[in-house]
């Protein structure tokens, strides 16, 4: 490998505002040498800790380990964000090369026998440490245990091989899905191709065509922000079917990049990993470090929702079938019909259509609404920062400050629009995590990625209700990172248990459709008039409509995830046949499909974070609905003492304490699932 050029911006000091990466100078070719150098520097830091002749202590072992790898984190933070948000063939090649190298580096760290002995010695004597220090020791020791540090040398070596192979396979899986999403285009041409589509969707379809070099045309891509409204409004049943089939077959559309064989290999390697670490199945292994703890606890919650969700969906189906018959459709409702007729029923029952609502939900105004909620709840000032060189023209930057002290808390980047170079979905990530230490306080740089359909040239971008909730959701994650106030990076922000991490995000969603928020910020794009109170009330009355459908498509995905990762023979299965058979066993309504089918289930197969853990959104829903009840009990959704406690206990503490203890500290008791079931209309 060639020595890094001195001009490599990834290796230079970043003399930029808030030390933001110098995106305008960074090129794909800079990453290979920069990652190599940063990874080698981290190896030297680890070796110095492992070979320290002094007796192991918190300071010279666990705290030193937490401080190590800052240069690698800086470079890799830029790389992994760009690989998902603004990729290119060159970046994808770097990703294919470096994914297994990162896995090998991770394994070398956590399977280092000398380092583990030092960590174990500090863990043994942790009783005299302060609460945050003790928590860091316990989490670090558990990281080593779950990575297999206590195993004999041959098993440790095999674990390292498995992690490298998984990294390569998961990268291929993710890139295959992105390739399908980027390449499939459904042209809307010919008579009636635009029939039923509201102006905002026609505008978005024309913008998507122009972005793909087809000016003057209109097309639908496999971006959720285009497909879902198309399925909701298009009167062309044949085009709805075409779009639906392509959308639900991402990851298996193109010969040579089908994800079925990759899934089977991933499952087999995960099962081998679980056996090496003493677990019967990968689900048993993955759930060790969660609030739920066991498959039984997860299944109990999912099944508590599954039965009522299916019953509600059956009631909804009867309404849709009646509506379809009234409109002259013969035969049963098909999956590509559900959203179309659900919108008809919703419009008739609640006098609501997205086309009526969306003119009040312009992206700029809704961004201000989002920030206003956060500012009022958490005592913040959020102001746009102009003049920064960012990685794409779509991205906007905002400084987040504590209003009382004026202290800078972090930099927030908003990347809202779908494009071919960005993977689908919505997510929060960090370029830099918060920490404190001898070098001073490090404040975070957080990014939210959404995939909203851009308005046409010169036209505003209008959000759906789902888009609005997504924006609040991701900013909830963002605030979890921005408000972090811990000493150690390992405990900062969203580095919490998987079934707790969605609490701050899902909780913020509750403010998105509150009358107090909409009355102030939802203004018509043409008249400037506020959203009528009667429309707000109809929106809120309709919140439980179609919840059977929503709950079935989500819960089916979580149940299939748990079932396939809970099989000791997972690697021997045909995953697509298993998906069909498991859904049949569950009694999945044929008119509904899983929210994420296995061939494009990025949560499960682009990495391991949500493998056997897609249930976490439902687990966190119990927490977030109960937490919001605290504000309702106080009679004010901005109740200052409750909001202050929320910031101090939930959003700022990171992984500094057991999450169950944090929830009890905030709520005064253990969580109650009743508010969640009631609010979803499932009681």
* pLDDT on residue 7: 86
CA atoms of 129 and 355, how far apart (whole Å): 59
Three-state DSSP class for residue 451: strand
Q: CB of 238 within 8 A of CB of 191?
A: no
Per-residue pLDDT tens over the stretch 161-183: 999 999 999 999 999 999 998 88
* pLDDT on residue 108: 96
Q: CB of 627 within 8 A of CB of 672?
A: no
* Confidence check: pLDDT of 370 > 90: yes
* pLDDT on residue 495: 97
CA atoms of 192 and 239, how far apart (whole Å): 10
- CATH class of the 9-178 domain in this structure: mainly alpha
DSSP letter for 21, please: -
Torsion, Cα of 596, 223, 618, 607 (10° steps): 60
pTM score:
0.91
Torsion, Cα of 207, 212, 214, 220 (10° steps): -60
Q: Do domains 282-332+546-679 and 359-521 have the same CATH topology?
A: yes
Mean pLDDT for 666-682 is 93
Report percent pLDDT > 70 for the chain.
99
Q: CB of 193 within 8 A of CB of 230?
A: no
Catalytic residue among 86, 181, 272, 474: 474
Three-state DSSP class for residue 384: strand
- Cα(first)–Cα(last) distance of the chain, in Å? 62
Mean pLDDT for 248-270 is 95
Contacts of 575 (CB under 8 A, 6+ apart): 260, 263, 264, 267, 564, 598
CA atoms of 407 and 484, how far apart (whole Å): 13
* Confidence check: pLDDT of 675 > 60: yes
Per-residue pLDDT tens over the stretch 53-105: 999 999 999 999 999 999 999 999 999 999 999 999 999 999 999 999 999 99
CA atoms of 447 and 467, how far apart (whole Å): 17
Mean pLDDT for 231-236 is 96
Contacts of 459 (CB under 8 A, 6+ apart): 203
Q: Residue ranges per domain, the chain? A: 9-178, 184-248, 282-332+546-679, 359-521
Q: What is 325-336 written as a DSSP string?
A: HHTT--S---TT
CA atoms of 338 and 192, how far apart (whole Å): 20
DSSP letter for 458, please: T
Q: At what angle are helices 89-110 and 31-50 packed, to 10 degrees?
A: 10
CA atoms of 129 and 121, how far apart (whole Å): 13
* Confidence check: pLDDT of 5 > 50: no
Mean pLDDT for 513-531 is 95
The rounded mean pLDDT for the chain is 95
- Asked whether the CA dihedral 261, 263, 266, 270 is positive or negative, the reply is negative
Report percent pLDDT > 90 for the chain.
91
* Confidence check: pLDDT of 35 > 60: yes
CA atoms of 221 and 420, how far apart (whole Å): 9
* pLDDT on residue 224: 87
Per-residue pLDDT tens over the stretch 284-335: 999 999 999 999 999 999 999 999 999 999 999 999 999 999 999 989 999 9
* pLDDT on residue 1: 41
Q: CB of 78 within 8 A of CB of 431?
A: yes
Closest CA to 366 of 459, 456, 470, 447: 470
Its CATH architecture, for the domain 282-332+546-679, is Orthogonal Bundle (1.10)
Per-residue pLDDT tens over the stretch 587-640: 999 999 999 999 999 999 999 999 999 999 999 999 999 999 999 999 999 999
* pLDDT on residue 6: 55
CA atoms of 37 and 4, how far apart (whole Å): 8
- Judge whether 474 counts as a catalytic residue: yes
Q: Which one has a higher pLDDT value, 389 or 353? A: 389
Which single residue is written with the structure tokens 């077959």? 249
* pLDDT on residue 437: 82
Its CATH architecture, for the domain 359-521, is Orthogonal Bundle (1.10)
Which alpha helices (DSSP H) does 327-360 contain, by range?
338-350, 354-357
C-beta neighbour count of 326 within 10 angstroms: 11
Sheet holding 445-452, edge to edge: 380-384, 396-402, 408-417, 445-452, 427-432
Burial of residue 453 (number of CB atoms within 10 Å: 0-12, 13-18, 19+): buried
CA atoms of 284 and 288, how far apart (whole Å): 7
* Confidence check: pLDDT of 4 > 60: no
């Amino acid at each position: 490998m060639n020595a890094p050029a001195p001009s490599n911006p990834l290796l230079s000091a970043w003399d930029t505002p808030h030390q933001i990466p110098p995106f305008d100078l960074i090129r794909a070719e800079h990453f290979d040498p920069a990652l190599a150098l940063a990874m080698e520097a981290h190896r030297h830091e680890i070796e110095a800790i492992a070979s320290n002749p002094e007796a192991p202590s918190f300071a010279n072992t666990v705290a030193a380990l937490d401080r190590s790898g800052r240069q690698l984190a800086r470079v890799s933070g830029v790389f992994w964000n760009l690989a998902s948000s603004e990729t290119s063939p060159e970046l994808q090649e770097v990703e294919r090369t470096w994914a297994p190298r990162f896995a090998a580096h991770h394994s070398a760290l956590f399977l280092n026998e000398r380092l583990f002995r030092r960590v174990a010695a500090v863990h043994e004597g942790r009783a005299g440490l302060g609460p945050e220090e003790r928590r860091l020791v316990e989490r670090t020791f558990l990281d080593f245990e779950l990575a297999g540090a206590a195993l004999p040398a041959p098993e440790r070596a095999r674990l390292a091989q498995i992690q490298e192979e998984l990294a390569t396979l998961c990268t291929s899986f993710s890139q295959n899905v992105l390739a399908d999403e980027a390449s499939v285009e459904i042209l809307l041409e010919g008579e009636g191709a635009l029939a039923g589509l509201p102006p905002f969707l026609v505008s978005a379809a024309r913008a998507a065509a122009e972005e793909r070099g087809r000016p003057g045309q209109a097309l639908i891509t496999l971006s959720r922000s285009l497909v879902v409204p198309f399925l909701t409004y298009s009167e062309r049943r044949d085009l709805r079917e075409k779009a639906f089939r392509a959308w639900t077959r991402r990851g298996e559309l193109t010969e040579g990049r089908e994800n079925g064989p990759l899934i089977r290999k991933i499952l087999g390697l995960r099962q081998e990993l679980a056996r090496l670490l003493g677990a019967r199945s990968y689900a048993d292994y993955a759930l060790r470090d969660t609030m739920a703890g066991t498959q039984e606890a997860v299944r109990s919650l999912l099944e508590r929702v599954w039965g009522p969700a299916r019953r509600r969906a059956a009631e909804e189906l009867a309404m849709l079938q009646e509506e379809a018959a009234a409109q002259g459709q013969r035969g049963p409702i098909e999956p590509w019909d559900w959203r179309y007729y659900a919108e008809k029923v919703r419009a008739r029952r609640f006098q609501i259509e997205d086309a009526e609502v969306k003119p009040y939900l312009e992206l700029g105004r809704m961004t201000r609404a989002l920030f206003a909620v956060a500012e009022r709840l958490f005592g913040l000032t959020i102001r746009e920062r102009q003049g920064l060189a960012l990685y794409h023209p779509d991205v906007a930057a905002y400084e987040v400050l504590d209003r009382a002290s004026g202290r800078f808390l972090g930099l927030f980047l908003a990347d809202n629009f779908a494009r071919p170079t960005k993977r689908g979905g919505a997510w929060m990530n960090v370029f830099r995590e918060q920490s404190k230490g001898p070098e001073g306080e490090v404040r975070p740089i957080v990014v939210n990625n959404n995939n909203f359909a851009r308005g046409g040239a010169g036209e505003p971008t209008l959000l759906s209700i789902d888009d609005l909730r997504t924006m609040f959701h991701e900013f909830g994650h963002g605030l979890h990172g921005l408000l972090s106030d811990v000493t150690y990076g390992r405990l900062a922000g969203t580095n919490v248990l998987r079934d707790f991490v969605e609490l701050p995000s899902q909780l913020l969603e509750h403010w998105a459709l509150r009358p107090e928020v909409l009355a102030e910020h939802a203004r018509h794009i043409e008249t400037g008039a506020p959203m009528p109170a009667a429309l707000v009330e109809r929106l809120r009355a309709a919140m439980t409509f179609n919840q059977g459908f929503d709950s079935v498509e989500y819960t089916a995905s979580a149940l299939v995830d748990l079932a396939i990762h809970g099989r000791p023979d997972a690697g021997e299965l045909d995953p697509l046949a298993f998906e069909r058979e498991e859904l049949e066993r569950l009694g999945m309504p044929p008119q509904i499909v899983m929210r994420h089918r296995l061939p494009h289930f990025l949560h499960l197969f682009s990495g391991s974070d949500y493998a056997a853990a897609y249930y976490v959104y439902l687990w966190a829903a119990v927490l977030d609905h109960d937490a919001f009840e605290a504000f309702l009990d106080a009679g004010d959704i901005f109740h200052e003492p409750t909001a202050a406690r929320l910031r101090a206990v939930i959003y700022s503490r990171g992984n500094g304490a057991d999450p169950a203890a944090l929830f009890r500290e905030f709520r005064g008791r253990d969580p109650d699932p009743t508010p969640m079931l009631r609010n979803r209309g499932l009681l």
